[in-house]
Structures are given as structure tokens and as C-alpha cells.
Chain A
């Protein structure tokens, strides 16, 4: 089984790093994974997308993900057309917002057949990291919603990427978001 995850954020929020941390966690578990950004001339604030593929079997294709199993939105101010594009029927949508899934569905007028999850990752990041960088929190929420890797492997991947206190704080953010994420089946 191959899972295809598409990350949407804005330059500076760490979507590319989130994609990489998830892939690295999968690789540490002995799985196959690929992580890559939608390559642009990166600038702070501009919409950014990144991709993670995770599988039990080798992954050969280097195509970008056009029909993701799950879309992860780091910035709720992005237009929904941007991130809903190509999301599979019955796909999952995970958004960083204060709203509940029901409120989000209503306020954005999302009519597709998706399962929606929300988490206030900005609050978690501000409380724990002191910065509105939500990427690691969103990885924590993701592995709750789609348990393709363990939270311990995510922690390992984070500690390999960020050393010392920064790493520890980010692991804390992962755990907080893992607990805080809400959805109809959680």
C-alpha cells in the first residue's frame, strides 16, 4: 500500500521540512519513502506545496502527487481550491485552524466527500516553540489521523534534524498536536 500526502503552506512555515520529517520517520522504520518540494523559487509567504510518499515497497515514480490520499494545510488562509485540487474521493483533509471540522466545512463550503480533521497548530507552536512555525505539530496531527509511522519514529526524525533544545521542543509540539487533533472518528 502506498500513501500519498500533499502538504500546503506558505514559505517559512516549514511544509518542505514537514514532508521530509514524515519520510525520514518512515525510512527509519525500514519503509520506503520519498519527500520532495514543489520546486519553486522559495519566498516567504508564497504558497508552497510539498509531497511525501510512503510505502512498504520501493517507490520508483518521481511524479508530483496529483491525487493525494490526504492533504495537510498548514495555513488556513490558503484558498481551498489550491489544496482540494485532485484530493481523492473519500480522502482526508487535515487543517491547522481554531475551527472544528464541522465549522470549517460550513465556513468554506466544502462539499466534497472528505473526512475533515482540524487542530489549532498555531496555538500549539506559539505555546511550545514561541514561534508560529506549525510544521512539526502538523506532522504530529497527521500520524494520529493516518497512522503510517509511529510517533516515536517522528520524534527520532525530528531529533536527527534539529539538535538540542529545538529538537526537544518540536517533539513536544508533535505530541501536543497528536492529542489535540479532532475529527468525527477520533
Chain B
């Protein structure tokens, strides 16, 4: 289908916003109809800000206060099933409590959008950042975007509704970003002076199957062994479709608003011997570390995974094809796996059938917000170069910076 683009004339305001507030501004500008949420650190200021927008008349929406995250997502799903544009936000234990409902949102094919300010999981209690919560939601059939700046958070929530409500997709979307490290950091964000261009880019899709007393349908009924599998395969096909649709949505966004991100972000990869792969806010620190190392003649580059599900294997392979060593830094642990980094596993599997492929090293770091600075990144690269010289890349994850473990 040919799409005629009329580049909208957009007036922008440049505001100091945290990533949490950037989510709230996007929800307002997308004219979301129903929000249901339960407070949890470090997500809470998302829905506080949305409540403020509703209270002062800037957003005409229903805010449902519920008694748990399980109910928050259930109410969001119900609203979406009735045809509303629906949103929720959570983190950490909240996302865990939602887990069974995550599958119901995607199984019912409802275009719910949720923001996740990623946070470590109990026990022991940690209110700080890592990506354990998000990675546990990997197999729930939610499209998942991981942003790395507050601007990208705003833009990604807008893109999320565009992708979710596409008739050929109809799957829920998570927009994730670092809890605290991004959720509570103020930085400049461009938001439109009015939301017309946003709604022109992402018009509400009310023309979909919904609960309507005039035209009754059943949702989520029993599926016998004769049919259940086909329902699940439709989700597989929709995820495949979502890959194209996410690409298109980002391209169209760039044409409308002059900002695009791609499904992955490459930084100085073309001549790099070593490429660091990461996601979320960490990539900013990695970029500055790369700048410093480049000044010393180290040929190092970076690749950021922006779309996590569906996984953009082609873009990833293309960005890494010239590297001698790929170092994947994961901020989550798949316990009991030799390669315990969820993204490292994915990158490895993308290359498995290729005769020509880079060596791949899996690093675990930043767990429970253990500090990662440019210096940490340089140490990781120094060690990786040593491994490359020795010609022996370990077939197990390295737990970087944990007490009691040293790698020689």
C-alpha cells in the first residue's frame, strides 16, 4: 500500500523531562482513553503526572485506581477489549504480578501499551535498576522496545500505539527504559505544542473487533487441542509482521517528525574489531567510552538493541558482520545457563547457522544497579582484547565486577 506523506508542520517545546514524565506527555498527546495503574517505584511518577494532566483538563481520560498490578493490567485489557486506547505502567515486582495477564493481553490480541521503568527483582529487595523484570517477560508475546533517552521514550510510546493498533499486528507493546538511571533523570525533550500531528501519525484504531452489545463477540473462550495451536501460531505470524511494521513505523515517524532510531542503533561499527552490544541507558555511557578509546586508536564500536521483541536479527547481523569480537553486556541473568545473558543468547543464535561469524563474549554487569562508568567499559574492552589475542573466548558468561570472582 502506497502511503502519501504530508510532513506535518510541528511546533516543538523543549522541556526538561525525566523519562517517566516523557511517558506521561506521550500518553497525553496520544489522547489515551483509559489508564489503570498501581504505584511502584520507580514507575510511580508516570501515573502521577498522567493524573495531573487529567485533573487539570489536559487529558480527557478515565484513570482507574486498582488494588494491584494484576488488576491494573486486567482493567487495561478490559478497556482495550471495549475499544478504548488503553495504557498502563509498572516495574519490577509489579510486572511479575502481571505475568499471567501479560499472556492474556497478547492472546486476546489487544493493542495495550505499557511502560516499564526496569528494576531488579526481590529477594533480596532492590529498588535499583537492572533488566531482570523485563527479560522475564520475554516469552509473553509482547512487542518490546528499549529506549535509551527520554526523547526516545516519548517517541517510542507514540510509535508503540502505531504498531500495536496496526490491523496486521494487534499485539501489546512494552516501552522499557532504565529505572532511576533514566526514569528519574531530567534531560531535554522536544514535545509538540499541540497533539494534532501525533494523532495524525498514530490515529486511534476504533475500527477493530471489540466488545459491543450491538455486535456481540466472545473473547478468550476455551480453545480445544484442535484449535489452540493455531491461535498461538497466529501470534507467531503477528510478531513476524510486527518486525516490518516497527521498521515502517519508525521510518514514518522520521518522515513526520525528523527523528528516527531504527530497530538497532550503530555507533562506529564499520571498522571496529570489537563491538559492544547493549541496551537502554547504558548505551550512552558506552558511546562516550568509545569516543575516549577511539582517541587512543582502539577500534571499538557499539550496537544498541532497540527492538528486543521481535528480535531484529538481520539488522543485528549486518551491524556485527565485520567485527572480530562481539561483546554483549546484559543487565539480567538467566540462571543456570552457561551463557546467562538473554541478549547474548539471542545474538549467538542469530549467527549460529552462518559459516562466517564473529566470536561472541557474554558479560553480565549492572545487576541491581552496580555502577557502570566509562572506566568499567574500558576495562571490559581491555580484557576482551586480551582474550582476542589469546584466541580463546570463554563459552560462558563473565560476571563483571562481582566480589570474589576475578578473570585473568
Contact = CB atoms under 8 A, between A and B. Distances in A.
A77 interface: no
A33 B187 contact: yes
A30 B16 CA distance: 10
Contacts of B188: 27, 32-33
Contacts of A24: 16, 186
Count chain A CB atoms within 10 A of each CB in B15, B187, B281, B374 and give the residue with the most. B187
Given A27-B14, A39-B128, A62 B184 contact: no
Nearest to B149: A60
Interface in A10-34: 20, 23-24, 27-28, 30, 32-34
Contacts of B181: 36, 39, 62
Contact of A61 (B15, B184, B374): B374
Nearest to A30: B14
Contacts of A157: 16
Contact of A62 (B14, B128, B284): B284
Interface residues of B, number: 27
B371 A64 contact: yes
A34 B181 CA distance: 11
A107 interface: no
B395 to A, nearest CB: 31
Interface string B161-189: 00000000000000000101110111110
A18 B284 CA distance: 24
Interface residues of A, number: 22
A59 B188 CA distance: 10
Contact of B180 (A35, A39, A66): A39
A60 B284 contact: yes
Contacts, number: 72
A39 B287 contact: no
B282 interface: yes
A62 B181 CA distance: 7
A41 interface: yes
B60 interface: no
A62 B185 contact: yes
A62 B281 contact: yes
A63 B186 contact: no
B285 interface: yes
A36 B285 contact: no
A39 B186 contact: no
Nearest to B371: A64
Interface string B207-243: 0000000000000000000000000000000000000
A33 B187 CA distance: 6
A28 B15 CA distance: 7
B282 to A, nearest CB: 7
A87 B67 CA distance: 47
A47 interface: no
B369 interface: yes
Contacts of A20: 16, 186
Contacts of B282: 62
Interface in B66-94: none
A37 interface: yes
A36 B184 contact: yes
B334 interface: no
Nearest to A35: B186
Contact of A27 (B16, B42, B185): B16
Contacts of A35: 16, 185-187
Interface of A: 20, 23-24, 27-28, 30, 32-37, 39, 41, 59-64, 66, 157
11 contacts: A20-B16, A24-B16, A33-B186, A33-B188, A34-B186, A39-B184, A60-B284, A60-B287, A62-B282, A64-B371, A64-B373
Interface of B: 14-16, 42, 127-128, 178, 180-182, 184-188, 281-282, 284-285, 287-289, 369, 371-374
